[in-house]
C-alpha cells in the first residue's frame, strides 16, 4: 500500500482481487509472520497469568502490587509511544521487530534464573514487565506498518483477521497452559516458556524474504518532535480516528481495570486453584476466536461502521455478568460474560485495525498508530493502578463491579461521532 488513493474499500465489498487458493497461508512471508506472532502470543499470554501467579504464590504479593505489575507492562505506551511511532516511520521495521523479540527473551529468561538463585523480587518482576512493555511498544508499532508492505491493500483485512484469530486463541491457550505449568512445575517455569517463544518469533521474522524499502525522509527540514506532531494532528483533526481513539481509551479503562485484579479475585476470594484460574480465564476469551473469524464477514454483511457499533454493544453491557462470578457454578458467569466481551473486542479490533491501515497515508501510519495507542494504551496503567487501589479499599470484587459498570457505558461514545450515520467507514480521508 502506498497511500489512500490506491485503496479499495476492503471492508465494504468482497476483495477486488480473488484470493489465491488457500488464502494468505499460501503466502510464504505472511505465513512466517503469522507463525512467529502466534507462538509469541501464546507465550505472552502464559506470562500474563504466570507473572501475577508468581508474585502471589512465590512472593506473597498484595492486590495493589499485582495491579502495579500490570500497570508497569503498559506504562511505556505513555512514556515512549509517540517518539517510537515517529522513529519507526524513519527506519526498516523488520529489524526493529527482531531486536524487540531478542530483548524480550532476555528479560523473561532472567526471571527463572533469579528464582533458581533465590534472588527473585517484586522489584525485578516490575523491571521485567516495564522492559518487555517498552519492547512491545516498538514491536507492535513496527508490525502495524510492516504488514501492509507484505500484502496488497485488499489482503490487509484478511491478514489482520488471521493474526487476530490466533492472537485471540492465545488468550484461551496461554492462560490454561500457564495454569497447567504452574500446577506441575511452578509459575516461574511458565515464564521460561515465554522467553523461548520470543526466540522462535525472531527466527521466523529473520526468514522473511520480502525486501523492505527504506522509508523516505520528509521533504524539507524536519525534527522528531515535528513528525510526532504531524501524526497527532492527523488523528485529532479526523473525526473517525478521533472518536475511535476516545472509545478505545474509555473501554480499555474498564477492560484493564477488571482484568488487573481478576487473578487475585479468583484465587483469594473464590478460592480456586491456579490450574482452574488459567482455564477459566482462557474459556472467557473463547468468544474472541469466533469474533475475529466473523469480523470481515460482519463488515461486508452489515457495513464496517455498523459492525463497529455491534462490536461495542457486545463489549459493554455483557461485562456486567462478570461480577456475578463466584465459587461453584457461579464461575459460569465469568465464562459467559468474558466470552461475549472478548467477541466484541475481537470484531472491533479487526475492523478498526484494517480501517486505520488502509485509510491512513502510509507515510504517516506509524505515527498515527501510536498517536491513537498513546491514549488507548496509555489509560491501561492508570486503570490498573486505580483497580488496585479500589481492590485494596473494597476488595477485588468491589473493584471488578466498578470497572465493568464503566465498561458497560462506553458504547455510548460511538453514538456521538459519525459512525451512527454511516453504513461503512470511508476508504480515504476527505
Q: Which tens digits make up the pLDDT trace of 329-374? A: 777 888 888 889 988 988 888 888 778 877 887 777 777 777 787 7
* pLDDT score for 15: 36
Whether residue 252 contacts residue 70, with contact meaning beta carbons closer than 8 Å, is answered with: no
* pLDDT score for 261: 80
Q: How far is CA 144 from CA 289, 294, 355, 410, in A?
A: 20, 21, 12, 25
| Grid cell listed for 140 | 507492535
* pLDDT score for 78: 76
Among the listed residues 72, 54, 70, the one whose alpha carbon sits nearest the alpha carbon of residue 267: 54
- What is the C-alpha to C-alpha distance for residues 103 and 199, in angstroms, rounded to an integer? 10
Among the listed residues 386, 309, 300, the one whose alpha carbon sits nearest the alpha carbon of residue 348: 309
Instruction: Indicate the length of the chain as a whole number.
Output: 430
| Domains of the chain and CATH, by start | 24-211+225-421 (1.20.1250.20)
* pLDDT score for 286: 76
Is the pLDDT assigned to residue 220 strictly greater than 50?
no
Among the listed residues 235, 229, 263, 262, the one whose alpha carbon sits nearest the alpha carbon of residue 249: 235
- What is the C-alpha to C-alpha distance for residues 143 and 357, in angstroms, rounded to an integer? 11
Summarised one tens digit per residue, pLDDT across range 280-308 is: 777 777 787 788 778 878 888 888 889 88
Query: Residues 29-51: what's their mean pLDDT?
Result: 80
* pLDDT score for 407: 92
Summarised one tens digit per residue, pLDDT across range 129-154 is: 899 888 888 888 888 777 777 777 77
* pLDDT score for 11: 35
* pLDDT score for 167: 72
Is the pLDDT assigned to residue 31 strictly greater than 50?
yes
To the question of pTM greater than 0.75 for the whole model, the response is no
* pLDDT score for 203: 92
Amino acid at each position: 500500500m502506498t497511500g489512500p488513493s490506491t485503496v479499495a474499500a476492503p471492508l465494504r465489498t468482497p476483495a477486488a482481487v480473488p484470493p489465491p487458493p488457500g488464502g494468505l497461508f499460501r503466502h510464504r512471508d505472511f505465513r512466517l509472520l503469522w507463525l512467529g506472532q502466534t507462538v509469541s502470543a501464546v507465550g505472552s499470554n502464559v506470562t500474563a497469568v504466570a507473572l501475577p501467579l508468581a508474585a502471589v504464590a512465590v512472593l506473597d504479593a498484595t492486590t495493589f502490587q499485582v495491579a502495579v505489575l500490570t500497570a508497569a507492562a503498559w506504562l511505556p505506551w505513555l512514556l515512549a509511544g509517540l517518539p517510537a511511532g515517529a522513529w519507526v516511520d524513519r527506519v526498516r521495521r523488520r529489524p526493529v521487530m527482531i531486536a524487540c523479540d531478542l530483548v524480550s527473551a532476555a528479560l523473561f529468561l532472567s526471571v527463572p534464573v533469579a528464582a533458581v538463585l533465590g534472588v527473585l523480587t517484586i522489584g525485578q518482576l516490575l523491571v521485567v514487565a516495564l522492559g518487555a512493555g517498552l519492547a512491545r511498544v516498538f514491536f507492535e508499532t513496527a508490525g502495524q506498518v510492516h504488514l501492509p508492505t507484505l500484502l496488497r491493500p485488499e489482503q490487509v483485512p484478511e491478514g489482520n483477521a488471521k493474526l487476530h484469530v490466533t492472537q485471540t486463541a492465545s488468550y484461551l491457550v496461554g492462560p490454561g497452559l500457564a495454569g497447567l505449568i504452574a500446577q506441575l512445575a511452578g509459575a516461574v517455569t511458565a515464564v521460561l516458556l515465554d522467553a523461548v517463544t520470543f526466540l522462535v518469533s525472531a527466527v521466523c521474522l529473520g526468514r522473511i524474504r520480502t525486501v523492505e524499502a527504506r522509508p523516505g525522509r520528509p521533504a524539507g527540514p524536519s525534527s522528531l518532535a515535528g513528525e510526532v506532531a504531524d501524526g497527532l494532528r492527523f488523528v485529532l483533526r479526523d473525526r473517525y480516528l478521533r472518536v475511535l481513539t476516545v472509545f478505545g481509551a474509555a473501554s480499555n479503562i474498564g477492560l484493564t481495570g477488571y482484568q488487573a485484579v481478576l487473578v487475585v479475585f479468583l484465587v483469594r476470594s473464590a478460592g480456586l486453584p491456579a490450574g482452574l484460574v488459567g482455564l477459566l480465564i482462557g474459556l472467557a476469551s473463547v468468544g474472541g476466536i469466533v469474533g475475529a473469524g466473523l469480523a470481515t464477514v460482519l463488515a461486508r454483511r452489515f457495513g464496517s461502521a455498523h459492525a463497529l457499533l455491534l462490536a461495542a454493544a457486545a463489549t459493554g453491557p455483557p461485562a456486567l455478568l462478570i461480577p456475578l462470578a463466584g465459587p461453584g457454578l457461579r464461575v459460569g458467569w465469568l465464562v459467559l460474560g468474558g466470552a461475549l466481551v472478548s467477541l466484541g473486542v475481537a470484531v472491533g479490533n479487526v475492523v478498526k485495525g484494517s480501517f486505520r491501515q488502509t485509510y491512513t497515508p502510509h507515510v504517516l501510519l506509524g505515527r498515527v498508530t501510536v498517536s491513537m495507542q498513546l491514549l488507548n494504551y496509555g489509560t491501561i496503567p492508570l486503570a490498573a493502578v486505580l483497580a488496585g487501589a479500589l481492590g485494596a479499599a473494597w476488595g477485588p470484587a468491589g473493584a471488578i463491579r466498578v470497572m465493568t459498570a464503566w465498561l458497560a457505558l462506553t458504547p455510548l461514545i460511538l453514538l456521538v461521532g459519525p459512525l451512527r450515520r454511516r453504513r461503512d467507514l470511508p476508504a480515504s480521508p476527505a
